[in-house]
Amino acid sequence: MKSIELERITQQVASLARHAGAFIREEGRNFSLEKVEQKGFNDLVSYVDKGAEEIIVKGLSEILPQAGFITEEGTKLDTSRELTWIVDPLDGTTNFVHGIPVFAVSIALAKDTEILSGVVYEINLDECFAAYKGAPATCNGVPIRVSETDQLANSLVATGFPYNDGGKTARYLDLLSYFLRNTHGLRRLGSAAVDLCYVACGRVEGYLEYNLQSYDIAAGTLIVKQAGGEISDFNGGDNYLFGGQILASNAKIHEDLILAIESHFEL
């Protein structure tokens, strides 16, 4: 797919993400916990997630009718096409339902496991992060770059915790304890999409998490790459989109992060 076409698609997706974000923002003004459903233990969903996904799926079907879909809430599922939209309509649902202002719309266009275009719209700060293959990552149209920090000791690291798979918790906490003692600190924002964008724009130097789904990270991975960062699984490989674990960094501290994982979190 040509860059000029990807640029047009990315601009249209960014506009759609803002539209869905406006719906989420408006519904959040009068939202209450009574309107929440549970897909699983601590895995929350509401009519807002579903409504936003319907808006997004409809819009994406008009932008690129030939593409299939992977969506968090199951509005549409079709992985048989050459191109696939990967959609999280509200990444950070738990934050949203509790009124904590860190949540986002995440939309990516993929060809197999290669992300061609990605948009993450963080609703509360009105920040629209975007990238497409062959072009710089941007925030609200302004190019962004990863941090130049090259020492783990001077880095800020973001992370998250899975809703299930508690069998690894003790080992993971040991790894996080290492980061607490050897970096500027840890941040747990509650949205993988936002975490990745914060790596891309230099607010944090690294981000790691396991037990994730493709729709949590797809758009953000491309944004990090096009901002000069590095993405891998915990072993340094490329099995991150569907492999359930992700490590993102400004590239300069990536090997240090992998070494810490190898030493403190037995895979």
Q: Evaluate if residue 40 carries a pLDDT over 60.
A: no
Q: Evaluate if residue 38 carries a pLDDT over 70.
A: no
For residue 105, the model assigns a pLDDT of 98
Q: Evaluate if residue 166 carries a pLDDT over 70.
A: no
Cα–Cα dist 163/43, whole Å: 6
List pLDDT tens digits, range 145-158.
Answer: 999 999 999 999 99
% of the chain residues with pLDDT over 70: 93
DSSP code at position 127: E
Sheet of strand 104-111, all strands in order from the earlier edge strand to the far edge = 68-71, 83-91, 104-111, 114-122, 127-132, 138-139, 142-143
Domains delineated in the chain: 3-143 (3.30.540.10), 152-264 (3.40.190.80)
Q: Evaluate if residue 45 carries a pLDDT over 70.
A: no
For residue 28, the model assigns a pLDDT of 87
Cα–Cα dist 20/31, whole Å: 16
The pLDDT-based confidence of 74 (bands split at 50, 70, 90) is confident
Mean pLDDT taken over the chain? 92
For residue 114, the model assigns a pLDDT of 95
Q: Evaluate if residue 43 carries a pLDDT over 60.
A: no
Find tokens 């009519």 and name the residue.
Answer: 47
For residue 73, the model assigns a pLDDT of 82
Q: In DSSP terms, which residues pair with 114 in a beta bridge?
A: 111
Instruction: Find the mean pLDDT for residues 8-33.
Output: 93
DSSP code at position 34: G
* 202 or 30, greater pLDDT: 202
List pLDDT tens digits, range 214-247.
Answer: 999 999 999 999 999 999 999 999 999 999 999 9
140: left (phi over 0), alpha (psi -120 to 50) or beta: left
For residue 168, the model assigns a pLDDT of 86
Instruction: Find the mean pLDDT for residues 199-210.
Output: 98
Q: Evaluate if residue 167 carries a pLDDT over 70.
A: yes
DSSP code at position 78: B
Q: In DSSP terms, which residues pair with 246 in a beta bridge?
A: 209
Pairing of strands 138-139, 142-143: antiparallel
Q: Which of 48, 158, 127 is nearest to 93 (CA)?
A: 48
For residue 41, the model assigns a pLDDT of 52
The pLDDT-based confidence of 46 (bands split at 50, 70, 90) is confident
Q: Is the pTM of this model over 0.85?
A: yes
**CB 221 within 8 Å of CB 241:** yes
153 CB burial (10 A radius; 0-12, 13-18, 19+): exposed
Q: Which of 103, 114, 106, 148 is nearest to 130 (CA)?
A: 106
Find tokens 């719309």 and name the residue.
Answer: 105
For residue 22, the model assigns a pLDDT of 97
